Chain A
Amino acid sequence: MTPPLSSSSNSPSNSNGAVTDSASCCSQGGSCGCPLRVVVPTTLRLVLGGLLMYSGWLKLGISSFGGTLPTSTPAAFAETIKKFDLPLVGDDVGIISILAFMIPWTELIIGVLMVLGLWTRAAALVATGLLVSFTVGLGMVMARGMEMSCSCFGSAKFLCGETVGACHLARNAALIAMGVMLVWKGSGALGLDRLLSRRRG
């Protein structure tokens, strides 16, 4: 069951010792480091994980690195959560204050795990769940005809404007697709998951 060690960079060999190219490696279903199997999961991990880390860090406002990052605070994020007026949350200060700290920390932790390629599928599953819940919340705001700030990345903006709109839904849909891909594919050849599994034999 254990896949062969990735050796694409050193001319992978088949069982007969013949050198194979990347395409044949992929066609044989091997996980020997063919470009798609390396590049796609790694790119997805770095992009989605990096975005989640960035988002969580901005919301926590721990450090703006000398003013280079437009950080916000959990208190400001709590205001946003309250304005969303979510079912089961409403204006309960206790729940909102927990969410205001927990959501950024969750984003930060799963972002780090994804970038490292450690527990990738679990982190991607949590990320997907988080993104789905965000999207549902945004959809509810739009359905009510409310005009309000997304605060998805604290006070920063990423691809979309500040006011919640279709762009935010499309962006989240793309991120959800990336999360689902990672749940399905795992960390890829360059993740710590793969490294650890090799050590276990």
Chain B
Amino acid sequence: MGSACEGGACGCRTSTGGLACVIKRSAAIVALSLAVALVHREMSPAISLEFKQGSGIKLPVTSTDQAGKAVDTPKSSQTSGVQTTPNNPSTSSNTSTPSTPVQTSSQSSTSSTPPMDSDGAKMLTTEQTKALYDQGLTQFVDARALTEFEKGHIPGSISLPAGDFTGDKIIATDGKVNMRLNRSMNVVVYCGGGDCSDSKLVAKELVARGFSMTAVYHDGWNGWSAAGHPKSSGAELPPGVPPMIDPPASAGGSQ
């Protein structure tokens, strides 16, 4: 190693000094990286690793449950990662009503059990997503490009393309997220469907920003439209209109 430093090719003049010089400079590079990383970390939203453990989204009770009654299931008995959400006051046991967003699923181990992706993210089937939609208390996020969103989307959805979470767009995106989405309510993110990754990326970004009740609609827009469920087209609803309440009636351009 020392011979490579001969002649000052690396700024290290002698064999032994060259080795020490390289090690010192390596340590300086690592220290610089650590310092920059810590500053960047302080300036960024806190990283949450809850997503892998199963996000706190609450699935609605379907007709297969007891006469439509909401059932609170203890965490230990929940098979699809359904969890109570600490910052949601309506998650206390035995308080669920049809109007709360935190009803739990007791049938999640049936044939409609959603697949889990390689990241361990909670994935919803079309049936589960439609049940949440019908419940009217779920916020839908479209992770596709804006042009795709305007061609057609789930009524009441807001557009948050995955690319908006990068670069200079982050500030505006964070502003939109804070203004349009409620952290104490379910969020379902979708993209084209199948293997598209935009919904997973956006879901992770939302979880990192404190939206613990976030899940991904696996079949996405293709699955939704193929099932013949309600659609909207054009621009998203204005901020004053809650996107999750009575979406078919209030959404312009519903089909």
Contact = CB atoms under 8 A, between A and B. Distances in A.
B25 A119 contact: yes
Given A61-B166, A63-B168, A79-B119, A97 B47 contact: yes
A13 interface: no
B184 to A, nearest CB: 21
Interface string A62-74: 1111010001111
Contact of A155 (B12, B49, B201): B201
Interface of A: 1-3, 31, 60-65, 67, 71-76, 78-79, 82-83, 91, 93, 96-98, 100-102, 104-106, 109-110, 113, 119-123, 125-126, 129, 147-149, 155, 183-187, 193-194, 196-197, 200
Given A61-B165, A63-B168, A125-B26, A96 B47 contact: yes
A193 B29 contact: no
A64 B165 CA distance: 10
A75 B118 contact: no
Interface string B11-28: 111000000011111101
Given A74-B44, A74-B47, A82-B52, A105 B36 contact: yes
A197 B49 contact: no
Given A101-B37, A119-B25, A121-B5, 9 more contacts: A83-B120, A91-B49, A97-B41, A105-B40, A109-B32, A109-B36, A122-B22, A183-B22, A186-B10
22 contacts: A2-B8, A74-B40, A75-B45, A75-B205, A75-B207, A75-B208, A76-B201, A78-B49, A83-B119, A91-B49, A93-B47, A96-B47, A97-B47, A101-B41, A106-B33, A119-B25, A121-B1, A149-B119, A183-B4, A185-B4, A187-B10, A197-B10
B33 A102 contact: yes
Contacts of B22: 121-122, 125, 183
Contacts of A120: 10
Interface of B: 1, 4-13, 21-26, 28-30, 32-34, 36-38, 40-41, 44-49, 51-52, 118-120, 163, 165-168, 197, 201, 204-205, 207-208
Contacts of B52: 79, 82-83
Given A98-B41, A101-B41, A109-B36, A183 B1 contact: yes
B205 A197 contact: no
Given A63-B166, A105-B33, A76 B1 contact: no
Contacts of B32: 109
B165 A73 contact: yes
Contacts of A82: 49, 52
Nearest to B207: A75
Contact of B197 (A61, A148, A155): A155
A72 B29 contact: no
Nearest to B6: A1
Contacts of B38: 98, 101
B168 A73 contact: no
A71 B165 CA distance: 10
6 closest A-B pairs by CB: A197-B8, A122-B25, A63-B167, A101-B37, A102-B37, A106-B33
Given A67-B163, A72-B201, A126-B29, A200 B8 contact: yes
A5 B201 CA distance: 52
A109 B29 contact: yes
A93 B208 CA distance: 12
Contacts of B118: 147-149
A109 B33 CA distance: 7
Contacts of B25: 119, 121-122
